């Protein structure tokens, strides 16, 4: 037996026992007469001690030890004279009697402790060492617990966990596919699934009724902090349901996760239409931990010879409580902030409400005190509040105002990481116009059902058709999304046509789905949660990387095993592939 206890297990009640422990050397302190060694495993840290009575043989072994050596020790548990209340084993120590070096360790490239000296790249290159650190490992433990809670919940509700293939036929869902060449079928390729969308719909045709899978998905997209080329979804589908049933079911799952994992009730899940979200927050995933809703002042502020406003299609603003004290410098910084290319505003107009209720604005030249007090009424602004306004073309100003709103939420300390405000955004548009391709794309995916009352508009004004599609947004992060599906092969064919597929292309790509729909497809709907995002939110992290055991970097590389990598000529030959010089990037 390698061990009788873990390194996190021994307490005062074990005093006098003779345990065997195994683990890694965390630290060694040789104080002459006394030697202290901290031994670590996944469960904790235990202090080992040897005093002047230690045998020469043991002392020799201590000389050889280094950080991260793998050791096994036998000793006697005794009460510590100076206790450490910071760790659960802090009341005891082990008087070492025997020590075996199970394996030596090279000096690690960074110190394996909570506040490590290793930079990001180094920690990724030696990820297996990074994962030894408790701060990193506990995120993965949280993730595992979440998966367990999800499985329990859905299993109890008769969802069938079903694996779907990873080598599939390319299914367009908005992103690029990763492709895999087939050796047995020269010049043919599989794609890795962007999601199991078609398979889960076919499982509904198969009568599975309720399906789920915690599943890897692959999208060849440009990466950001919350994106990885491979990521995990909690993917679900249900039959004989309407949108309302799906929202209720997965509100239930989300609530359950909050309760089991975080011990909290996230309160109501309000619903907001896409149109309202865009108009009031400039964003289809508003963070509703704080209000700062936009007010439209377009009609109110025009006609006072202030050219910027007079020429603008839209003038909107937010009122930030308690920021009326902002200094000139702070306001200049905010102006610089909104002028950055990522925000794209031309300038920022402000109005501060003074303690006596009077208003000081950056456009006092054009607006009389009565005009300004009209503004404060619209915003219901109180003394000490700060009104910030942007203007310009509406479809540019709303997103800019959205970024400003989030920045003010951050600056005003309104984004508490321990507060969770879920929200369903519903009634998404079915289609969005793609300028480059000069055709419509499906906003969610091509299998999403239009709202029945909007179907007629498909022929006349496709851009205005709303879908029975929904997103679950928590704290401004899109956590899940799904839709009611088309289950009629004719409507599905019409949708492909609207998306610019020729009959032949639709047949080639999706013939099997439309064929399946001929054999009695039930009405169905579903959703997929971004599991990594949910886990990182629950862990209080900004990036999904730290809830993924072996993540890729921003260029999609695994710096630990240095992939993607070239393959041997023989492998290429077998796959009938030949290499071409990479295109120069401009």
Interface residues with ligand ASP (CB under 6 A)? 195, 197, 481-483, 526-528
> In whole angstroms, how close is the CB of 541 to ligand ASP at the nearest point?
22
Instruction: Specify the residue, 159 or 290, whose C-beta has the smaller distance to ligand ASP.
Output: 159
Instruction: Specify the residue, 381 or 479, whose C-beta has the smaller distance to ligand ASP.
Output: 479
Q: Let me know: does 26 contact 39? Beta carbons within 8 Å.
A: yes
> In whole angstroms, how close is the CB of 197 to ligand ASP at the nearest point?
4
Instruction: Specify the residue, 486 or 527, whose C-beta has the smaller distance to ligand ASP.
Output: 527
Q: Let me know: does 220 contact 178? Beta carbons within 8 Å.
A: yes
> In whole angstroms, how close is the CB of 5 to ligand ASP at the nearest point?
45
C-alpha 349/C-alpha 362 separation (Å) is: 6
Burial class from Cβ neighbours inside 10 Å (0-12, 13-18, 19+) for residue 412 reads middle
C-alpha 68/C-alpha 540 separation (Å) is: 29
C-alpha 586/C-alpha 584 separation (Å) is: 6
Instruction: Specify the residue, 381 or 486, whose C-beta has the smaller distance to ligand ASP.
Output: 486
Compute the residue count for the chain.
Answer: 586
Report the run of H or E that residue 179 belongs to, with start and end. Answer: strand 179-181
> In whole angstroms, how close is the CB of 177 to ligand ASP at the nearest point?
13
> In whole angstroms, how close is the CB of 555 to ligand ASP at the nearest point?
24
> In whole angstroms, how close is the CB of 253 to ligand ASP at the nearest point?
14
Instruction: Specify the residue, 171 or 280, whose C-beta has the smaller distance to ligand ASP.
Output: 171
> In whole angstroms, how close is the CB of 525 to ligand ASP at the nearest point?
8
> In whole angstroms, how close is the CB of 580 to ligand ASP at the nearest point?
32
259 forms beta bridges with none
Which of 159-162's residues contact partners 24+ apart within 8 Å by CB, and which partners?
159/210, 159/211, 159/212, 159/236, 160/208, 160/209, 160/210, 160/211, 160/212, 161/211, 161/212, 161/213, 161/214, 162/203, 162/208, 162/211, 162/212, 162/213
Instruction: Specify the residue, 38 or 237, whose C-beta has the smaller distance to ligand ASP.
Output: 237
C-alpha 35/C-alpha 52 separation (Å) is: 9
Q: Which of 385, 379, 348, 381 is nearest to 363 (CA)?
A: 348
Instruction: Specify the residue, 296 or 488, whose C-beta has the smaller distance to ligand ASP.
Output: 488
Q: Phi and psi of 532, rounded to 5°?
A: -65, -45
Instruction: Specify the residue, 133 or 219, whose C-beta has the smaller distance to ligand ASP.
Output: 219
Structure tokens at 510: 């999706």
3 state DSSP class of 164: coil
Instruction: Specify the residue, 290 or 428, whose C-beta has the smaller distance to ligand ASP.
Output: 428
C-alpha 19/C-alpha 33 separation (Å) is: 24
- In which residue are the tokens 């936009």 written? 294
> In whole angstroms, how close is the CB of 271 to ligand ASP at the nearest point?
18
Instruction: Specify the residue, 443 or 528, whose C-beta has the smaller distance to ligand ASP.
Output: 528
> In whole angstroms, how close is the CB of 188 to ligand ASP at the nearest point?
25
Instruction: Specify the residue, 249 or 348, whose C-beta has the smaller distance to ligand ASP.
Output: 249
C-alpha 23/C-alpha 486 separation (Å) is: 56
**How far, in whole angstroms, is CA 485 from its chain's centroid?**
25
Q: Which of 70, 89, 74 is nearest to 24 (CA)?
A: 70
> In whole angstroms, how close is the CB of 144 to ligand ASP at the nearest point?
22
């Amino acid at each position: 037996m390698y061990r009788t206890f873990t390194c996190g297990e021994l307490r005062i009640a074990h005093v006098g026992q003779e345990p065997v422990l195994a683990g890694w050397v965390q630290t060694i302190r040789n104080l002459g007469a006394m030697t202290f060694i901290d031994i670590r495993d996944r469960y904790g840290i235990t202090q080992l001690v040897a005093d002047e009575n230690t045998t020469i043989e043991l002392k020799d072994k201590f000389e050889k030890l280094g950080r991260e050596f793998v050791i096994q020790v036998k000793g006697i548990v005794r009460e510590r004279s100076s206790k450490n209340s910071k760790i659960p084993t802090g009341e005891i120590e082990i008087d070492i009697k025997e020590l075996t070096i199970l394996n030596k360790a090279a000096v690690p490239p960074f110190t394996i402790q909570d506040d490590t000296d290793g930079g990001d790249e180094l920690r990724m290159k030696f990820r297996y060492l990074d994962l030894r650190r408790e701060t990193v490992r506990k995120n993965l433990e949280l993730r595992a617990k979440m998966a367990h809670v999800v499985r329990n919940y859905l299993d109890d509700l008769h969802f069938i966990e079903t694996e779907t293939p990873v080598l599939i036929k390319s299914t367009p869902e908005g992103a690029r596919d990763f492709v895999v060449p087939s050796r047995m079928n020269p010049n043919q390729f599989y794609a890795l699934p962007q999601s199991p969308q078609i398979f889960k719909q076919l499982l509904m045709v198969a009568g599975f009724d309720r399906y789920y899978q915690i599943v890897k998905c692959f999208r060849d997209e440009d990466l950001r902090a919350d994106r990885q080329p491979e990521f995990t979804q909690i993917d679900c589908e249900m039959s004989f349901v309407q949108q309302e049933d799906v929202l209720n079911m997965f509100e239930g799952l989300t609530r359950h996760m909050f309760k089991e994992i975080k011990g909290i009730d996230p309160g109501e899940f309000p619903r907001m239409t896409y149109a309202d979200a865009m108009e009031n927050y400039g964003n289809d995933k508003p963070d509703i931990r704080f209000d700062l809703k936009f007010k439209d002042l377009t009609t109110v502020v025009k006609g006072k010879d202030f050219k910027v406003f007079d020429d603008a299609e839209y003038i909107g603003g937010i009122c930030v409580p308690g920021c009326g004290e902002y200094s000139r410098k702070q306001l200049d910084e905010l102006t610089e902030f909104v002028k950055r290319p990522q925000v794209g505003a031309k300038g920022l107009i402000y109005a501060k409400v003074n303690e006596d209720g009077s208003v000081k604005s950056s456009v006092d030249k054009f607006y009389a005190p009565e005009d300004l007090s009209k503004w404060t009424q619209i915003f219901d602004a109180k003394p000490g509040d700060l009104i910030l306004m942007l203007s310009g073309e509406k479809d540019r100003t709303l997103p800019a105002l959205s970024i400003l709103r989030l920045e003010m939420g951050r600056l005003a300390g309104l984004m508490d990481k321990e507060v969770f405000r879920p929200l369903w955004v519903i009634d998404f548009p079915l289609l969005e116009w793609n300028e480059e391709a000069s055709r419509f794309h499906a906003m969610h995916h091509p299998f999403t059902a239009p709202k029945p009352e909007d179907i007629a508009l498909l022929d006349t004004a496709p851009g205005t058709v709303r879908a029975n599609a929904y997103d679950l947004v928590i704290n401004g992060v899109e956590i899940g999304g799904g839709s009611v599906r088309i289950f009629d092969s004719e409507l599905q064919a019409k949708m492909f046509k609207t998306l610019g597929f020729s009959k032949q292309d639709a047949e080639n790509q999706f013939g099997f789905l439309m064929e399946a729909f001929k054999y009695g497809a039930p009405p169905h709907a579903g959703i997929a949660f971004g599991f990594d995002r949910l886990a990182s939110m629950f862990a209080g992290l900004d990036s999904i990387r730290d809830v993924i055991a072996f993540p890729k970097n921003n260029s999609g590389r695994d710096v630990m095993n240095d992939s993607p990598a070239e393959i041997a000529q023989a492998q290429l030959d077998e796959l009938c592939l030949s290499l071409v010089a990479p295109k120069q990037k401009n």
